[in-house]
Structure 1
């Protein structure tokens, strides 16, 4: 699966700082990676309609069993609301046993720096 392009569900108000979230998941098995991949469309649709979402992208390296996410949010609360609702909540719970390694990073950037750069996210996650 190629990298999903940056999608921006909601415009960032001028002069606004945004909350950035990046993650890296590695599954235990190739089967776990395929399960992750199969659940991606539902979560991606949720992101595209999420209140407070300013943008998101996903990079899937299925045969390396590794998935990267990068997103921008109105606030940590908007991100938390997203993560605890819709398809994301049961997907995260259902795949937690398939994950052997996960890393997360949060930081703030001015909204005019969107879309975000994968290089910065990778640096923060390694």
Structure 2
């Protein structure tokens, strides 16, 4: 039986990442926030491109959730390929910035018997039961215990391996 490694990551994009006592009641979008959002979108695009080309990547899904939260669900040939992806290229470069970009971030990894991308409901259940939170500078009250809002599960976009990338 083939074993496949599956990874789920939940990250925010362009959230206001300041402690509540520094946060005005109403904040218009300012130039620095627009610049930060643009930098984050470019980082997301580069990481997705890296994913599609990564050795061992089989398939995945990207879910844009409410409040600029993004979920990535990826299936890999094995854990070594997944770790090689995580610790190289645009993904590695973006991850330290997560500290300041997000107020919630978490991940979970498991092994499954097929290449299918699990449903978002299954992935969210796995995250709550087996996941761990990532370090962020200004965590929300729900961050540490993974009591984030249930993800909206409609509208996930497939992430497909490039046809000219090295097969899994």
Q: Do they superpose with TM above 0.5?
A: yes
CA contact (8 A) 2:61 2:117 kept: no
Question: What are structure 2's unaligned runs of at least 5 residues?
Answer: 18-32, 129-168
Does 2:82 align with 1:95? no
CA contact (8 A) 1:22 1:71 kept: yes
CA contact (8 A) 2:62 2:70 kept: yes
| Offset at residue 96 of structure 1 (A) | 2.6
Q: Kindly indicate which of the two structures has a greater share of residues assigned to strand.
A: 1
* Structure 2 counterpart of 1:7: none
| Offset at residue 45 of structure 1 (A) | 0.9
Counterpart secondary structure, 1:79: helix
In the TM superposition, what whole-angstrom CA distance separates every residue of 1:27-75 from its partner, at most 9, and x where no partner exists?
Answer: 54284665433322111111111001111211123x5131111011122
* Structure 2 counterpart of 1:41: 45
* Structure 2 counterpart of 1:51: 55
CA contact (8 A) 1:33 1:66 kept: no
Does 2:109 align with 1:106? yes
| Offset at residue 95 of structure 1 (A) | 3.0
* Structure 1 counterpart of 2:117: 115
1:21 to 7, 12, 30: 7
How many residues align structurally? 110
2:74 to 71, 74, 92: 71
- Return the alpha-carbon distance in structure 1 between the equivalents of residues 92 and 110 of structure 2: 22
Distance 1:34 1:119, change over 3 A: farther
Question: What are structure 1's unaligned runs of at least 5 residues?
Answer: 1-14
Could you tell me the TM-score, scaled by structure 2's length? Answer: 0.57
In the TM superposition, what whole-angstrom CA distance separates every residue of 1:95-121 from its partner, at most 9, and x where no partner exists?
Answer: 332121212111111125x13221211
Q: Kindly indicate which of the two structures has a greater share of residues assigned to helix.
A: 1
Could you tell me the TM-score, scaled by structure 1's length? Answer: 0.74
